Amino acid sequence: MLQAIGLTSAPHRGRPPAVDDLTFEAGPGAVTALLGAPGSGKTMALRLMLDIESGRGITYFRGRPLHRIPQPAREVGVLLGDVPGHPARTARGQLRMLCAAAGVPASRADELLETVGLAALRDQRIGSMSVGMDRRLGLAAALLGDPHALILDDPGEGLSPHEKSWLHGLLRSHAARGGTVLYSTRDPKEAARSADHVVTIDSGRLVADQGSADFSRTRLRPRVVVRTPHAARLAAVVSREARAAQRSVEVVTEASSLLAVYGSSCAEIGDTAFRHGVPVHQLADEIGDTGPVATGPSGPGVAPRPESPAADPQAAPGPASPASASESPPVRRRPARGPLQPLRYELRRSFGVRTTAVIMVAVLVVSVGVSVLLARGGHARLPDVLAGWPSMLPLPPVAFGAGLLGALSFGDEFRYPALAAGRGTVPRRIGLLLAKLLVSAGVAVLLALLTVLASEEALHVLRGGDLIRVPRNANYLAASWAALNVGCAWAGLLAAGIFRVTAAGLSAVLAVPVLVVPLMKKVPAGPTAHSMLGLPARLRELAWVQWPHVMDRWMVAVVRMVVHPVGVALSLSLSVLICAYLFTSLRGRVRW
């Protein structure tokens, strides 16, 4: 049971609301069509029901508003527009990623690919799919959580008659299992054929709420379509003969050469045209739309007053249904929920496209090439050779690559918002942020390790098998190298999350060595650095528990990294970015 009560959208710039006091219901086990012309408020009504737009009113899903449902994906399946997936991701990869977001097993993706007829195309890229395949994938995404209700915005738009027939058959089978189906459409004939119940709206207001049989009887009429170069002459002849025979025939001129005749037949029109010598280019029977006409108070089009949620035996206790939009509670626009399994979601998002692998391979190739050139020069230090970091570059290629992957982690979320279909934003949840930080850090450390190993192997080949002597401070160098790459990855990730674009993440990564480090070098740091290096000994004197002396060496190594200009710049940048991210997240929650 789905009950929409008093839905009213917030007016913009002095204009009337797109949806005004709209009340209707869609029952279980039935398909309900929300019918209206383009601009009538169908999409806005659906977005109000899903708490995507702000306004007034309330929508109950089996007696509970959406914000009180712990796992909405298992109660409501939504398809608004196209599938917001990365064009390079496969159909199977997209669904498996959304399975992690919905908290369902990954095997559910293969089941739904079979259901929607895409099993043979599971490895096809989303960007190469036709409109019909995209709709099938969108339906599979809406069905991932096995929801009770389906809400679809004009799902048949752009589909062929065969694809529309398949689509409505799938919706009918979902309703036959006891589910609730609500979809919007602009075609009254499609609504009459495929829906059990038709809710007609115009200018955001309810016009009629009818069963399909009453809808067809009151709005759809059989007619004869005639195309002739002498449309005005034939219209006059047909009207004159109808008056003479005292028959109720209505002739409507729809174009300069097109007539629609109500109350007659193809045979009668053809005979009349033949008798008067009027050439006919087309003559066909069809069902015509008479337009939305509100029925009277006792007619079948009166919208039934939704019952209180308490009347539904499956409904949870809730407030009584308000009588009008003026009494209905406000609808607050709510951001999309984060994934229920954030780490698994982020892993599938990162490695579900070739971009991540291509960037990693390119970084390794460039780093090894730079290492070979530095080794041939013979003037660079061994750590710089292994890292592939010439003095002329502000950052080593691997650190820039880690920053790029970190920036794409949030940049692609905003560009292809799979988690925020129809909302235009990405959920700012601590679980999602921690998952992205963890995955980007792991990728950065992996890149750093592979770069050193690949450069070392290349130097072995270049020097004819001579061994490279391990520096005495190898542990410190390794920790510094990993921290640099992780810091760049996190800087790119946080900046892209704040400014919602990948380019901002790359700018933040480059700003550390280009802008922040020169500023840090101008700050006198000698006494401060010596004071920081003596911090472990002072902490040992103050602590109640004496830790092993090896901890002192690790603490000194950490302090040396922090007091280094690059370390200071990176720490300062990350601190600012974290504060900015938290501030924007809190501001968004307070606003909505």
| 346 and 325 within one domain | no
Nearest Cα neighbor of 74 from 135, 148, 17 is 148
- The DSSP letter of residue 309 is G
pLDDT confidence of residue 585: 81
| 454 and 487 within one domain | yes
Based on the structure, what is the number of domains in the chain?
4
| 56 and 98 within one domain | no
Structure tokens at 158: 């752009």
Rounded Cα gap, residues 256 and 429, in angstroms: 59
| 52 and 107 within one domain | no
Which region among 2-11, 276-285, 423-432, 502-511 has the lowest average model confidence (pLDDT)? 423-432
143-153 burial: b if 16+ Cβ within 10 Å, else e: bbbbbbbbbbb
What integer is the mean pLDDT of 90-105?
A: 94
Nearest Cα neighbor of 51 from 68, 28, 67, 70 is 67
Which region among 69-73, 334-338, 564-568 has the lowest average model confidence (pLDDT)? 564-568
pLDDT confidence of residue 318: 41
pLDDT confidence of residue 169: 94
Structure tokens at 371: 């290492």
At residue 1 the predicted structure's pLDDT band, cuts being 50, 70 and 90, is confident
- For residues 438 and 312, which has the higher predicted lDDT (pLDDT)? 438
% of the chain beyond a pLDDT of 90: 54
Model confidence at 439: pLDDT above 90: yes
| 325 and 256 within one domain | no
Rounded Cα gap, residues 449 and 457, in angstroms: 12
| 376 and 353 within one domain | yes
Residues 255-285 have pLDDT tens digits of 889 998 988 899 999 999 999 999 999 999 8
Question: Which residue has tokens 């401070």?
Answer: 473
- The answer to the question of residue 534 being in a domain is yes
Domain span holding position 531 = 342-591
- The answer to the question of residue 489 being in a domain is yes
pLDDT confidence of residue 314: 41
Mean pLDDT across the chain, nearest whole number? 84
Question: Which residue has tokens 């391990």?
Answer: 470
Model confidence at 547: pLDDT above 70: no
Question: Which residue has tokens 């790119």?
Answer: 492
Q: Which of 97, 113, 146 is the last residue of a domain?
A: 146
What integer is the mean pLDDT of 380-398?
A: 87
At residue 313 the predicted structure's pLDDT band, cuts being 50, 70 and 90, is very low
Residue 142 neighbours by CB distance under 10 Å: 24
Model confidence at 424: pLDDT above 80: no
| 427 and 486 within one domain | yes
- The DSSP letter of residue 67 is G
Burial class (CB in 10 A: 0-12, 13-18, 19+), 333: middle
Q: Which of 146, 169, 187 is the last residue of a domain?
A: 146
| 419 and 380 within one domain | yes
Rounded Cα gap, residues 476 and 558, in angstroms: 8
Rounded Cα gap, residues 251 and 399, in angstroms: 75
Rounded Cα gap, residues 250 and 184, in angstroms: 31
At residue 48 the predicted structure's pLDDT band, cuts being 50, 70 and 90, is very high
- The answer to the question of residue 336 being in a domain is no
Model confidence at 323: pLDDT above 60: no
- The answer to the question of residue 77 being in a domain is no
Model confidence at 186: pLDDT above 70: yes
| 253 and 109 within one domain | no
pLDDT confidence of residue 420: 73
Which region among 71-75, 163-167, 367-371, 456-460 has the lowest average model confidence (pLDDT)? 456-460
- The answer to the question of residue 530 being in a domain is yes
Model confidence at 410: pLDDT above 90: yes
Model confidence at 316: pLDDT above 50: no
- CA Rg, the chain, in Å? 33
- The answer to the question of residue 167 being in a domain is yes
Rounded Cα gap, residues 48 and 141, in angstroms: 21
| 299 and 156 within one domain | yes
- For residues 472 and 540, which has the higher predicted lDDT (pLDDT)? 472
What integer is the mean pLDDT of 101-122?
A: 94
| 559 and 431 within one domain | yes
Model confidence at 76: pLDDT above 70: yes
What's the predicted TM-score (pTM) here?
Answer: 0.79
Which region among 33-47, 120-134, 312-326, 503-517 has the lowest average model confidence (pLDDT)? 312-326
Which phi and psi angles does 42 have, rounded to 5°? -65, -50
Model confidence at 548: pLDDT above 70: no
- The answer to the question of residue 286 being in a domain is no
- The answer to the question of residue 75 being in a domain is no
| 399 and 353 within one domain | yes
Rounded Cα gap, residues 118 and 124, in angstroms: 9
pLDDT confidence of residue 588: 57
